[in-house]
Amino acid sequence: MARIAGVDLPKNKRIEIGLTYIYGIGVTRSKEILGKCEINKNKKTFELDDAEIIKIREILESDYDIEGDLRRFESLNIKRLSDTGCYRGRRHRQGLPLRGQRTRTNARIRKGGKKTVAGKKKAPKK
């Protein structure tokens, strides 16, 4: 099993998809990395030899922000927004959507699960 940037890559998947298990790498960036390393994207992770894994590690360390560094960078950006008190920062603090989505009916992911009121009586039908 290949371990890159502190993440165990799945061994029976193509390396192109396996690299996406690392935070900060999607399919496009994965293809770009494999192109720089000159590794076939259809190769399975367990088929990689040590030299190829080392090449991938070196490229990731030198060219990209991934995993802990990227998470830290994002959290600092969110902290900066909330410290300045701008609209997006306030929305982050309140746990509401940031980009203009409606909140009256949707936004269940940001607002949390639906809260029901216990013992609420319905109006009688006439």
Set out the domains of the chain in order of their start, with CATH numbers.
Answer: 3-63 (1.10.8.50), 71-126 (4.10.910.10)
Is residue 121 a contact partner of residue 111, using CB atoms and an 8 Å limit? no
Q: Is residue 123 scored above 80 in pLDDT? A: no
- Rounded to whole angstroms, the Cα distance separating 107 from 95 reads 10
More confident residue, 21 or 2: 21
Token readout for 36 is 């720089």
Regarding pTM above 0.85, the answer is: no
Read off the pLDDT of residues 81-121 as tens digits, 9 standing for 90 and up.
Answer: 999 999 999 999 999 998 988 888 888 888 888 877 777 67
Is residue 27 a contact partner of residue 20, using CB atoms and an 8 Å limit? yes
Instruction: Report helix angle 67-84 to 87-94, nearest 10.
Output: 110
